[in-house]
Amino acid sequence: MDNLSFEKIWEDVFMFELEISVENKYGSFKKTCYLQNDSLVEFSKMISDFLHLPSKSKEIKWGDILDNELSECVFTIFPIDSSGHIVMKVFLVQIDDDNKNESALYIQTELGLLENFGKNVLGYLENVGRKVSLN
């Protein structure tokens, strides 16, 4: 089953550690990243913006390899299809010991599930150890 989940592992005053888990019928991966506190607000806003205009793709990026960061996560939501399904692409890049590792998985979901996920991301992740899932 296609799924995307976030789990808050650790937090500080200005940042937190988030474990991102992605899976579909072809594979799965987990990635831990460090984000600033407003990152989830921006992610939730990206989903909200998409819901207001589901015929247009939306994208958000956490980290940037070009800015000498060691990891990058890109979430892209593609326009809704005629059957009401939505596809989200999760693209992860990690630099380890001079090796660049890239992974991308596509997740299928529905409008209502995406809306709930966007709302729940903020509330569920207020405390360390909480997890929120898309599907």
Average the pLDDT over 95-103 and give the result: 83
Is 91 a domain residue? yes
With cut-offs at 50, 70 and 90, classify the pLDDT of residue 68: low
How far, in Å, CA of 66 to CA of 63, rounded?
A: 9
* Domain total in the chain: 1
Torsion 32-113-37-45 (CA) sign = positive
Average the pLDDT over 42-63 and give the result: 95
Is 55 a domain residue? yes
Is 132 a domain residue? no
Whether residue 67 has pLDDT greater than 70: no
User: For residues 2 and 86, is the Cβ–Cβ distance under 8 A?
Assistant: no
How far, in Å, CA of 109 to CA of 34, rounded?
A: 26
Residue 79 DSSP code: P
Is 134 a domain residue? no
